[in-house]
Amino acid sequence: MIKSMLHGVGIASIACFMACNEGGKTADTASSQADALASLVDSTVNPAQDFFDYANGGWIKNNPIPPEYSAWGIGNLVKEELYKRLRTINEKAVENPNDPTSRKIAAFWKSGMDSVRINADGIKPIEAQLKAIDAATTPAELLKLAAVQNIGTSVMCGIYIGQDAKNSEVISVQLMQGGLGLPNRDYYFNTDPRTTKIREAYPAHVAAMLQFTGLDSEAAKAAAANVIQLETLLAKSSRKLEALRDPEANYHKMPVKQLNKLSPNIDWDAFIKQQGITQFADTVIVGQPEFFTALSNAITSQPLATWKNYLKWSLMNSNAAMLSDTIANTDFAFYGKLLKGQEKQKPRWKRVLDTEEAAMGEALGQLFVKEFFNATAKKRYENMVEEIRGALKTRIEHLTWMSDSTKQKALYKLSKISKKVGYPDKWKDFSAMDIKEQSYAANIQAAQLWWHQYSVNKLGKPVDRTEWDMTPQTYNAYYNPSNNEIVLPAGIFTVPGKRDEELDDALVYGYAGASTIGHEITHGFDDEGRQFDAVGNLKSWWTKEDEKKFNERAAVMIKQFDNYVVVDSLRINGKATLGENIADLGGILLGWDAFQKTEQFKKGEKIAGYSPAQRYFMGYSLGWLSHTKKEDLARKVMTDVHSPAKFRVNGPFSDVDAFYEVYGVKPGDGMYRADSVRVRIW
């Protein structure tokens, strides 16, 4: 329901906000620079045939994907600038750790950059856990180890603490399917050549990782086969990507006693308490009950030795990046090269920054915004949120397919959407995070434990609706249905190499107003978000007739995207990507409505040869400037609820009447869709 996953210890989506005063460039100097949009264009492409290739193709031709990446685009360009700035922050902290936060940053950075110690330690950081697994003699002992190992990972299943979807004022313990080493269940069963190649390579990779635990090659090969058989059992009872997007179907609140009946071979009271969750956990929310029945059955149907090797493999898999280069490189050969098409790893300093961002990114963010955040730009985007909100209000009021009673509730929900722009008003306190002069692995484990305890401490307390789940320097944004809020970190508005005041409204309304602000607001009314009410509860507020009409219109979009072939014969999954596709289309329409009220649109003066209307659509396309290796495209089509970048432009533009008018799109053009099959929702 968001442009990417919410914050967690495994997330390292980072970027920077360039809307800062870095010296006083004059207007003449700014105008002499290459135009941010014109420089990207491939003029050999007809925009009515393939707008993505037209708007971004010039840049793509001249900017091949670097060997350490599987994709390259706008997010990477922003992130590269941030890497340099965050590295400077870390190096300054090492030179002058004059406060507790700087000392933690310095300690984390030094431990991560100490490759000599990391390589000398080898597998030492997880040796004690491996020995404990070897010592287990009963399923109960093994489950106790799995419960502890689950902290910071998702061994066996996923457990997290968050808002109750049907009572957003309450924080609950929630369980969901998980425990797979491949990206999702389809990798275990799909028979296309690309997926088959990955599945066939998987046993050798698991075996190679198990050899690091002390197994010889033959024993590791046999153990890997059993582990994969176990994972395949779990995968059979795992839901598909599109099925996981139905919030009602993935909500099953029950007492822990009922969960024990559902999966009787696991003592869930003990399992939950062994994670340090000792209060307010008599009731849990289970996402996929059938998975937990299958997990329980596997506890007794699979030999203890198989489970022990599974835990060892999971331990190696989740910790490989923080262990020796030999182990990390073996992990990369499968997950980086084969799955994503990367030719080599990022340099260590970038990987350490990624991990540090996940561990304590908000601490970095406090230092970052002091130097790089522009208050004028913040106000620009806060105002734009209200303009976009107003555009959706007008659209809802003029809908012909929705009844007045549902309209009034939709308008009320829209009025209650809260906005968070730039950075938090209240920062997280990392003083209790035990980052210090110790091994890199120990610092990462300390961060994982801190985040786990941070979540546990929320149980039984009022929901903190001021909290941010992304850092200010993140090049991303999200809509949180439980809080009915849009969260827009400073980084998401960045255009690399440009200050905010250098950007014309046409570009900004497309790039930020449509692809970010309008997109996130529309998420409140997509196929999932529309099921939550104004205060964030999963509760029906639609008439049955209006719901039917919405679904009929959404079905048109599902069909449209089902027909897009991405790589080889692999098509977009229209159901799985529906929410993001609706948000993309909604964002474009809302951004356009708001932009038409600006002085730039009314004056109609060209910049770099392009009209304001043309620059609006080019500005939106800038937000998806990127190209991706085939391997990673295939992975994303199977695992991501977002359509690939090209189709986030060409797909929704083909449904926008204004686009046809601006670019003269006619029947027979690649971008043309008959009026009768264009998507009409919001």
Strand arrangement, sheet containing 158-164: 158-164, 167-176, 283-286, 252-255
Domain co-membership, 311 together with 449: no
Tens-place pLDDT, residues 324-335: 999 999 999 999
Three-class SS of 399-456: CCCCCHHHHHHHHHHHHHCEEEEECCCCCCCCCCCCCCCCCHHHHHHHHHHHHHHHHH
Structure confidence at residue 462 as a pLDDT band (50, 70, 90): very high
Q: Mean pLDDT across the stretch 571-591?
A: 98
Helices (H), 501-543: 505-508, 519-523
Domain co-membership, 356 together with 309: no
Whole-angstrom CA distances from 328 to 323, 333, 335, 472 are 6, 9, 10, 29
Q: What's 550's domain CATH number?
A: 3.40.390.10
pLDDT at position 471 over 90: yes
Domain co-membership, 361 together with 305: no
Indicate the DSSP class of residue 628. Answer: E
Domain co-membership, 266 together with 355: no
Instruction: Provide the β-strand partners of residue 255.
Output: 283
pLDDT at position 606 over 60: yes
- Give the number of domains in the chain: 2
Tens-place pLDDT, residues 154-177: 899 999 999 999 999 999 999 999
Instruction: Provide the β-strand partners of residue 598.
Output: none
Backbone angles phi, psi at 370, to 5 degrees: -60, -35
285, 319 in Cβ contact below 8 A? no
Tens-place pLDDT, residues 522-532: 999 999 999 99
396-435 burial code (b ≥16 CB/10 A, e <16): beebeebeeebeeebeebbeebebbbbbbeeebebeebeb
Whole-angstrom CA distances from 153 to 157, 315, 433, 451, 489 are 9, 9, 18, 12, 26
Domain co-membership, 66 together with 157: no
For the ranges 202-206, 367-371, 631-635, the lowest mean pLDDT is seen at 367-371
**Strand, coil or helix: what is 150?**
coil
pLDDT at position 1 over 60: no
- For residue 251, what are the domain limits? 124-322
pLDDT at position 634 over 90: yes
Q: Mean pLDDT across the stretch 120-144?
A: 96
Structure confidence at residue 26 as a pLDDT band (50, 70, 90): very low
Reported pTM? 0.92
**Is 7 part of any domain?**
no
| Domain finish residue from 283, 306, 322 | 322
* Geometric angle at alpha carbon 561, from 65 and 185, rounded to 5°: 75
* Geometric angle at alpha carbon 113, from 107 and 119, rounded to 5°: 115
Q: What's 234's domain CATH number?
A: 1.10.1380.10
Which one is predicted more confidently, 373 or 261?
A: 261
pLDDT at 375: 81
Q: Mean pLDDT across the stretch 36-65?
A: 98
Structure confidence at residue 152 as a pLDDT band (50, 70, 90): confident
Percent of the chain with pLDDT over 90: 88
Structure confidence at residue 30 as a pLDDT band (50, 70, 90): very low
Q: How far is CA 85 from the centre of its chain?
A: 23
Q: How far is CA 159 from the centre of its chain?
A: 18
Tens-place pLDDT, residues 379-430: 999 999 999 999 999 999 999 999 999 999 999 999 999 999 999 989 999 9
515, 508 in Cβ contact below 8 A? no
Indicate the angle between helix axes 193-211 and 630-639, nearest 10 degrees: 90
pLDDT at position 5 over 70: no
Domain co-membership, 77 together with 183: no
pLDDT at 82: 87
Domain co-membership, 356 together with 314: no
**Is 631 part of any domain?**
yes
**Is 108 part of any domain?**
no
pLDDT at position 33 over 80: no
Domain co-membership, 291 together with 357: no
pLDDT at position 11 over 60: no
pLDDT at position 23 over 60: no
Domain co-membership, 131 together with 227: yes
Percent of the chain with pLDDT over 70: 95
Domain co-membership, 451 together with 509: yes
pLDDT at 367: 81
**Is 379 part of any domain?**
yes
Question: Mean pLDDT in the chain?
Answer: 93
Domain co-membership, 32 together with 69: yes
Domain co-membership, 186 together with 234: yes
**Is 114 part of any domain?**
no
pLDDT at 373: 72
Q: Which residues, other chains included, contact 483 with Cβ-Cβ below 8 Å and sequence gap of 6+?
A: 163, 168, 418, 463, 465, 536
